[in-house]
Amino acid sequence: MLPDRAFFDLLADAAGKETLPRFRVGADVVNKQQGGFDPVTEGDRAAETAIRRLIEARFPEHGILGEEHGSVGLDREYVWVIDPIDGTRAFISGVPLWGTLIGLYRNGKAVMGLVDQPFTGERYFADGATSAYQGPEGSRVLSTRACADIADAILFTTSPHLFEGDAKMRFEAVQDRVRMSRYGCDCYAYALLAAGHVDLVVESGLNPYDVGGLIAVIEQAGGIITTWDGGPAEMGGDIVAAGSRAVYEQALALLKG
């Protein structure tokens, strides 16, 4: 049996109780990457612990793939995919564009998902059929924008520094074709796409937990999200998301090289 909206809200509320009190107060940051910078905070770890505890109590037969505390039962029918703070760099910089991502896969396919930004009070949820927004603007069903040509598209990526070598050339080929490109936002850019505000998000080198909570939200709002070769996005990699089929196909042609 699939969980209901109330259970996803319970998970997001539990995470928010751990993240919000630690936002803009000088988070204790640990670098997870030798020779680089991959930050994690106490908020990341505490939020994932809170989410996992609730899932394990309600759905002990389900698997969990989490960023901070490892994975269990990845071969099970249902697997939860958790990113407690997507955009930790934004979080530690005081930028309110991070979010908590919670996805549910069934046999490897994303079927439900949630993007929560507790600081702005915005929540994007996919229930298996439709995507909905709840926040300062009220409540509404989400629908992507019907952009017909990449020349009219608004493109987002978290950072141009995500791309190297051939991937950089392919991304720039897309960027050269769009009307406007913007950087930043992490998961929030995908939420804006699902809500019909932007048309295209292109990123590289993502992990499953970076996209697990986003896939159903985008697809059930009418959008498309895949890898650059057109494959499923559930396990991450080089990712392209678009609000319309026309923009997706034009971007994909450039990204394939």
- pLDDT per residue as tens digits for the range 179-224: 999 998 999 999 999 999 999 999 999 999 999 999 999 999 999 9
CA–CA dist 180, 198 (Å, integer): 10
Q: Yes or no: say if 109 and 232 are a contact pair by the CB < 8 Å rule.
A: yes
The model's pLDDT over 149-185, given as tens digits with 9 standing for 90+, comes to: 999 999 999 999 989 999 999 999 999 999 999 998 9
Residue 107 has pLDDT above 80, yes or no: yes
Give pLDDT, residue 67: 85
User: Does CATH number 3.30.540.10 belong to domain 5-141?
Assistant: yes
Tell me the residue type at 85. I
Structure confidence by residue, pLDDT tens digits, 71-82: 999 999 999 999
Q: What global pTM score does this model have?
A: 0.94
Residue 203: Cβ-neighbour burial (10 angstroms; 0-12, 13-18, 19+) = buried
Rounded Cα gap, residues 253 and 147, in angstroms: 17
**3-class SS of residue 76:** coil
Q: Which SS3 state, helix, strand or coil, does residue 191 take?
A: helix
pLDDT number for residue 114: 98
- Percent of the chain whose pLDDT exceeds 70: 95
Which pLDDT tens digit goes with each residue over 46-99? 999 999 999 999 999 999 999 888 899 999 999 999 999 999 889 989 999 999
Rg (CA), the chain: 17
Classify domain 150-256 at the CATH class level.
Answer: alpha beta
* Residue ranges of the chain that CATH labels 3.40.190.80: 150-256
pLDDT digits (tens, 9 = 90+) for 1-35: 789 999 999 999 999 999 999 899 876 766 555 55
What angle in degrees, to the nearest 10, is found between the helix axes of 5-19 and 42-58? Answer: 150
Q: Name the CA dihedral angle for 223, 227, 233, 235, rounded to a multiple of 10 degrees.
A: -170
Instruction: For residue 232, give both structure tokens.
Output: 């499923």
CA angle (27, 29, 168) in 5-degree steps? 115
Cβ-proximal residues to 246 (8 Å cutoff; 6+ apart), any chain:
147, 148, 149, 150
List the structure tokens of 88.
């930790």
Q: At residue 37, does pLDDT exceed 70?
A: no
Average pLDDT, the chain: 94
In this prediction, residue 32 carries a pLDDT of: 52
Please determine, for residue 145, whether its predicted confidence score (pLDDT) is greater than 60.
yes
E-assigned strand segments in 21-108: 29-31, 39-41, 63-66, 71-72, 78-86, 99-106
Domain(s) of CATH 3.30.540.10: residues in the chain: 5-141
